[in-house]
Amino acid sequence: MRLTFLGAARQVTGSCYLVESEAGKLLVDCGMFQGSSHMRVQNRVDRIVNPAEIRWLLLTHAHIDHSGLIPRLSAAGFKGQIVCTSATADLCDVMLTDSAELQEEDARFDLRRWKKSGRVGPPPEPLYTPQDVREALTKLRPLPYDKLVRLTNGLQVRFRDAGHILGSASVEVHLGGRPPTKIVFSGDIGYPGRPILKDPTPPDQADFVVMEATYGDRLHESHTEALKHFTQIVTDTRQRGGALIIPTFTVGRAQELLYNLGMMRRAGDLGDMPVFLDSPMAIEATEVSRRHPECFDTEIRQLIEAGKLPFRFRGAKFLRTVRQSQTLNNLEGSFIVMAGSGMCTGGRIRHHLLHHLERPQDTILFVGYQAAGTLGRHIKGGAKQVRLFGRELQVRARIESLDGFSAHADSEQLLEWLRPMKASARRVFLTHGEPRALVSLAAAIRKRYKLPVLVPEMNDTVDLSQRPAMTRLARVRGREAMIEAAASGFGTG
């Protein structure tokens, strides 16, 4: 019984884990690497030696860093089932189709540069095409939350609500044997107490836990405080006569922002500021959300049952076309624009940054995690100058951030999610985090629960039937210094 870490090891993107047992081979997630050009190169590396041998892909949720390489895996020979929640299946249709269109657009751009350069060798090609997406989507098998489902002899799975985005799940993998083994993959764990989605439901027992650590080194401000802070940012920007530009993740964050802005409109906190959702994919995701009330908390379900639209309000305008988006370039006065991508790695937000970064009366507000190497990380980190569309731009706009709108749990909430499993867990593996967050959360878990915590590297393989021996310290080059990792049980196979 082996577990291999094929992604999200000591980084926050590219989630992918391989489980090998007598029941066969399965993957949990198949995500795209995002961030620096070096990281994106990994998307073209064949991580799975023989995709045809994989019988199941268990998908925690639809975000591209968890699902984005599924079409590539399918085109490479994967013929098994993609098992996920119903809402995740619907969102994959929206998000992977959009991703394929972006891949083709990037390939066309690279091809023009390739022709001008006179390079030899094969021309650039997209990672995958819309046709690859359509074929991959035929493999989807939706399952409900909380139901233990037998996939084959010696393998059962159950999805628990992770409260991260619509349809997100933590996955229980029940493997037969003597004794039977239960592995829990956390997926991305949501921030409890937020509006719209239900709170995370942690499993009550596990032998092994593969757990995310995105915000493992910090605490978020409360949602109430975040809403006050958000209202103040809107007010300050409006008083300066500026625009508020919000890089927005199209699934989850866009809908929560719309909900909160609607509340602010009804309370009179927006004045007459128009609100623009400038993202066709976010608009589609919002429509998908309305079809899945099983994911919503009580308040939102009651609004829907009463015939009210929680994501629509006076002054909110949804922009689908490029021409509609371009009209914002000449708009004067105070207004709010939400556009993807959330980390500013692509999409319409980059055009809005081009027009607003150098305007001191404007505000750029980050409401989600910014991975290392992304444009969003550079701006949020205090860069005074950035390069965009071949131009050097001075960052004169006011830069703000809100962690209270994060879709990820903070360090204390991660510890509480793990609490029900503390008595049964034999090992905890921390992934999906930068080194500092991994070190901090590992220390907190050891201190509070006295559990062995391992932080694997990319392509490490663990034999789950073996006990880990002594612990070694592995030096990490860069800003962070040390990460603890297991000395034995790790290989390259």
Residue 430 tokens read as: 């921390």
pLDDT at position 478: 36
Give the end of a domain, one of 354, 369, 401. 401
Same domain, 297 and 196: no
Contact present, 459 and 427 (Cβ < 8 Å): no
Give the end of a domain, one of 370, 386, 401. 401
| Cα–Cα separations (whole angstroms), residue 452 to 218, 279, 414 | 21, 44, 16
Contact present, 341 and 247 (Cβ < 8 Å): yes
Same domain, 213 and 229: no
Give the end of a domain, one of 359, 386, 401. 401
Same domain, 126 and 212: yes
Residue 75 resides in a domain: yes
| Cα–Cα separations (whole angstroms), residue 282 to 63, 94, 277, 393 | 12, 9, 8, 27
Residue 157 resides in a domain: yes
Torsion of CA 343, 349, 352, 357, to 10 degrees: 0
pLDDT at position 365: 97
CATH number of the domain residue 77 falls in: 3.60.15.10
Residue bearing tokens 């937000």: 349
Handedness of CA 32, 36, 37, 42 (dihedral sign): negative
* Closest listed residue to residue 187, CA positions, set 206, 217, 163, 157: 163
CATH number of the domain residue 267 falls in: 3.40.50.10890
CB-count burial class (<10 Å; 0-12, 13-18, 19+) for 422: middle
d(CA 72, CA 74): 5
Residue 410 resides in a domain: no
Residue 416 resides in a domain: no
Pairing mode, strands 427-431 and 208-212 = parallel
Residue 111 tokens read as: 């091809």
**Residues paired with residue 157 on neighbouring β-strands, in sequence order:** 149, 173
| Cα–Cα separations (whole angstroms), residue 418 to 138, 162, 422, 439, 493 | 35, 12, 6, 17, 29
Residue 414 resides in a domain: no
Same domain, 279 and 367: yes
Residue 166 resides in a domain: yes
d(CA 70, CA 95): 11
Contact present, 254 and 309 (Cβ < 8 Å): no
Same domain, 345 and 479: no
Same domain, 227 and 211: no
* Closest listed residue to residue 12, CA positions, set 188, 180, 178, 217: 188
Same domain, 386 and 429: no
What are the DSSP calls for 390-401, one per residue? TEEEE--SEEEE
d(CA 71, CA 328): 34
Residue 64 resides in a domain: yes
pLDDT at position 490: 31
Same domain, 156 and 301: no
Q: Could you report the per-residue pLDDT of 104-119, keeping only the tens digit for each?
A: 888 887 888 888 887 7
pLDDT at position 474: 38
Q: Could you report the per-residue pLDDT of 354-409, keeping only the tens digit for each?
A: 999 999 999 999 998 888 888 999 999 999 999 998 899 999 999 999 888 888 99
Same domain, 302 and 253: yes
State the distance between the two ends of the chain, measured CA to CA, in whole angstroms.
13
Residue 162 resides in a domain: yes
Domain count, the chain: 2
**pTM confidence score:** 0.88
Residues of the chain scoring pLDDT < 50: 469-493
Range of the domain at 339: 223-401
Same domain, 206 and 290: no
Same domain, 241 and 298: yes
Residue 34 tokens read as: 């995002």
Same domain, 81 and 141: yes
